[in-house]
Amino acid sequence: MYVPRLNASFILIPRTAGSSLVTHFTEKGLVQFNIGHTTVEELKQGMFRNQGGHPINFTLQGVHGDDAMFPENYLNLFEQSLKVSVVRNPYDRMKSYYKFLKYIIGPAEARISTHQYSNFNDFILHTPPIVKLQRALWTQTEYLSYNNKIYMDKIIKYENLNESLDKLFKGLGHDFSLKHHLHKTKDKEKIDMTPEVRDFLYERYKDDFINFSYPY
């Protein structure tokens, strides 16, 4: 997502308040274009996903419809802007994704598969094949890395989202008060992880725990 007024590009990772950020800036008329859940690696290769989830190559000619909103010089804009992303504790991020699939609007096949499992722990240890295909399961490190290094100028912790964003852009007089979070479930289910699942998720997202300083 590119915001010209702030000269900032946001790399949006699933279940890290991306929808709320897009809505916040869109409602204020500040978003020039949104590239969805695209990795830095994909951007550098000239590939990204449009709002319909389809990959687009900047080298293609004759782009029409929704794809026409993406300028061919997006990579240059990205490189010259402040590169920002929000990261989240991997445990909480996976709990959020589980609830998203179970209670909200996740991909139909994945949502159905989720209901086959009795609880979060069962779901994580026996993740159905259709869910394993979802980009939401990728590590946050995968989204933000290029040449094996984190490529962002600024990493914001989800746990301090409003405060950190307000501090980052306060010089531009922009109020970061995310009054709503899209797709936030009303379900109050408390999710407790077993030691086995905690270890499993730590190994799966070890790079995220290390790179973004989250505790085991």
CATH of the domain at 185: 3.40.50
Handedness of CA 40, 46, 48, 51 (dihedral sign): positive
The helix/strand/coil state of 201 is helix
143-174 pLDDT tens trace: 999 999 999 999 999 999 988 988 888 877 77
**Encoded tokens for 11:** 């790399």
Question: Which range among 25-29, 36-40, 56-60, 128-132 shows the weakest confidence by mean pLDDT?
Answer: 56-60
> Tell me, what amino acid is at 4?
P
Q: What are phi and psi of 8, to 5 degrees?
A: -130, 140
pLDDT above 80: residue 62:
no
Does 92 map to a domain?
yes
- pLDDT value at position 45? 82
Q: What are phi and psi of 72, to 5 degrees?
A: -70, -20
Does 197 map to a domain?
yes
Among the listed residues 35, 58, 192, 215, the one whose alpha carbon sits nearest the alpha carbon of residue 21: 35
Does 216 map to a domain?
no
Does 81 map to a domain?
yes
In terms of residue numbers, what domain contains 96?
A: 2-211
Report which DSSP code applies to 68: G
The pTM assigned to this predicted structure is 0.84
Does 154 map to a domain?
yes
Contact 14, 135 (CB under 8 A): yes
Integer Cα distance of 33 and 10 in angstroms: 11
Number of domains in the chain: 1
Among the listed residues 21, 45, 32, the one whose alpha carbon sits nearest the alpha carbon of residue 81: 32
